[in-house]
Amino acid sequence: MKKIISCCLLGAGLFATQTYAEEIGCITTAWKLIGANHKVCVQVFDDPKVEGVACHISQARTGGLAGTFGVAEDPSQFSIACRQVGPIKIKNKLPDEETAFTEDTSLFFKETRVTRLFDSKRNTLVYVAVSRKLIDGAPANSISSVPIMPWSSQ
């Protein structure tokens, strides 16, 4: 099942693009008598500007009645792993830092944002997932790197 996620890119102005994330599956972490169970869900998205790179994100999801109705604030607990999954083709010149993916994790003001950095000295893409709360920020983060290497088709 594909889910459309709004991705905000900051530059000269604010404009929206769409990045698609596919849900791989969820694992129950705590059973709830009423409402949805607490769980950890895994999604995957392809970098919209770098063909051949996919990132998997696992995120905690709050259950209970609030989680069932989509009004719960999910905790800032997540992990990211990005890998080369084919020949890497960069569609346009990449900036040193750019938002590659965002997903809301509460009804208001909280999101998980994945920023792509380019380490030109090591020819490596670095993906940093950060939990952001627009009111006060949140330091929760996770990192993954993808060295740009030749891809054999064997």
Digit-coded pLDDT (tens) for 80-138: 999 999 999 998 888 888 988 887 665 555 677 899 999 999 999 999 988 776 556 55
Question: Is residue 121 within 8 Å of 57, Cβ to Cβ?
Answer: no
The overall pTM is greater than 0.85: no
Q: Which residue has the higher pLDDT, 63 or 110?
A: 63
Domain boundary assignment for the chain: 2-147
Choose among 55, 145, 50: nearest CA to 88: 50
> Alpha helices of 62-150 — where are they, by DSSP H?
64-68
pLDDT of residue 71: 65
